[in-house]
Structure 1
Amino acid sequence: MDSISPNVQTVYLVDDDREDQELFSEALELADSHVDLKIFDNGVDLMADLYSGRPLPDLVFLDLYMPLMNGEECLRDIRENEKFDKVPLIIYSTLLDRAKIEHLFSIGANRYLHKPSSFKSLVYALERTMNSVRRNKLGGTAIINIVG
């Protein structure tokens, strides 16, 4: 990562589904070419990286349902350490349960991105998300992004 230019953002995706990882990676590349993506299969590996002393990511996308440590557990653990307060956390899931989403915001999620049903929708959603994060950082109200 040392050779990455300063205008490139480091994005983490934490998702155990290989197909979802590949789709996300391809869509993100189309949505934003100024991104260095690092993928984790579970929350345990994510937490090890965050505590490794390496530079923190600019953005983390967390799937909710993963083995070893799920997305909600990661969210709680990350938000319990003020060292990670400025890292935007986006829940990236198929779940569409308003009460659960509100709960996730209450424990520290900055945004919620529903996994879209089409590749084109995913590219669009990632373009909007990346632009929003660059413009707003953590300010403003929580955002739910649901596209078809």
Structure 2
Amino acid sequence: MEKVILLADDDIDDTEMFCEALQDIDQSIKCYCSVNGNEMMEQLYSLERVPELIFLDLNMPLLSGLDCLRVLKEQQKYQQIPVIMISTSSHKNDMDAAAALGAICYFVKPNNFKDLKNILRSITANLDEKLKEVIINLHSGGSKHIFYLE
């Protein structure tokens, strides 16, 4: 069965690398990409079914990742979708804000394609009740890219 993932990131290079990594990992993943939160919300509303996972870049024009997360968590239909915030920085204030709004994880973008693939492989192989456990294991296992948000 096809797995649906949404990605909102205004950095085109990061988006291309992300989507390429997902395709290398699992051909059944359909990744819908958008360049800002407004576009991502429009894609979400047009989908026939709720996605398994959403990745939101923290800093985007028009509707930031945090603002988009706030909108998602206010709508009952989308409250249960796991959301992973992505960013190039690991500022504690940003992580705290993401956690307060309901993100399950904070993902600092790796520069290395292999690292990105390994992390995405672990996450996308567990798009079920094991997702939280996998993120905790990545975080406690020393990954400098994954921060579990409690």
Kindly report structure 1 stretches of 4+ aligned residues shifted beyond 6 Å.
none
Distance 1:130 1:53, change over 3 A: closer
Gapped regions of structure 1 (runs ≥ 5): 1-6
Aligned equivalent of 1:40: 34
SS in 2 for 1:87: coil
Identity of aligned residues (%): 33
Distance 1:34 1:134, change over 3 A: farther
> Are the counterparts in 2 of residues 91 and 111 from structure 1 also a CA contact under 8 Å?
yes
Q: Normalised by the size of structure 2, how large is the TM-score?
A: 0.83
Distance 1:33 1:146, change over 3 A: farther
1:107 aligned onto 2:101: yes
SS in 2 for 1:134: coil
Aligned equivalent of 1:55: 49
Give the aligned CA root-mean-square deviation in angstroms. 2.3
1:118 aligned onto 2:112: yes
Q: Distance in 2 between matches of 1:17 and 1:83?
A: 28
Distance 1:53 1:18, change over 3 A: closer
> Are the counterparts in 2 of residues 15 and 66 from structure 1 also a CA contact under 8 Å?
yes
- Report matched runs for 1:1-148 at 5 Å: 7-52=1-46, 54-137=48-131, 143=136, 146-147=144-145
Q: Distance in 2 between matches of 1:119 and 1:140?
A: 24
> Are the counterparts in 2 of residues 105 and 142 from structure 1 also a CA contact under 8 Å?
no
Measured after TM superposition, the shift of residue 141 of structure 1 is 9.9
Measured after TM superposition, the shift of residue 16 of structure 1 is 1.1
SS in 2 for 1:20: helix
> Are the counterparts in 1 of residues 86 and 108 from structure 2 also a CA contact under 8 Å?
yes
Structure holding more helix per residue:
2
Q: Normalised by the size of structure 1, how large is the TM-score?
A: 0.84
Gapped regions of structure 2 (runs ≥ 5): none
Aligned length: 141
Measured after TM superposition, the shift of residue 95 of structure 1 is 1.8
